[in-house]
Amino acid sequence: MVSFRTIALWATSALAAALSERQIDIPDDWTWSVENWHAGCQRTCYYNFNVTIPSIEGQVLGAKAYCSGAESDDRFVHCQILEGANNPVAAKLLARPEGGNGGVPQQFAVSFQKSSYEGSPAYNFTAYNSTTYNAFVAPLMNFDMKPTEVLGTL
């Protein structure tokens, strides 16, 4: 008779093996372009911008999206896909610094999901960048960001 503990161990090992096979590297020199960045703070902090995530032949179908949102309790807000494959894009302002004191979110994140296609696994890539608040004081900004995290999704 096989104990519950043994079955649980087998199941955990099988899941870990499946997840380890789903790992993928972040493509070298994969740079995402942020255009028309606009962010400010009034009662809450907000942002809007376009982001272009380029395609990588044979690996990733990119997208261009319009992102707009405000502080949202650390949740990603879905962006509107403007061009490209139907791979979801989302953005968020990161949490304010500890202690309050009128601090504003110092960073934001953009998340891009490479959707599953014909049995290939899905992956979520995330890039982070410092937040510049340019509303009412400076022109729209353009800059690049690079993904630094990738996770396989089930």
What does pTM read for this prediction?
0.80
Average pLDDT over residues 105-127: 88
Structural domain contains residue 14? no
Q: Where are the beta strands (DSSP E) in 57-146?
A: 63-70, 77-78, 80-84, 89-93, 107-114, 122-130, 141-145
Domain span at residue 38 reads: 32-97+104-153
- Total tally of structural domains belonging to the chain: 1
90 found inside a domain: yes
Could you tell me if residue 61 is inside a domain? Answer: yes
Residue 9 has pLDDT above 50, yes or no: no
* pLDDT tens, residue by residue, 53-65: 999 887 888 999 9
Given the structure tokens 């061009």, which residue do they identify? 83
The reply to whether 136 falls in a domain is: yes
Is residue 15 in some structural domain? no
pLDDT tens-digit series, residues 66-106: 999 998 767 999 999 999 877 899 999 998 877 665 688 88
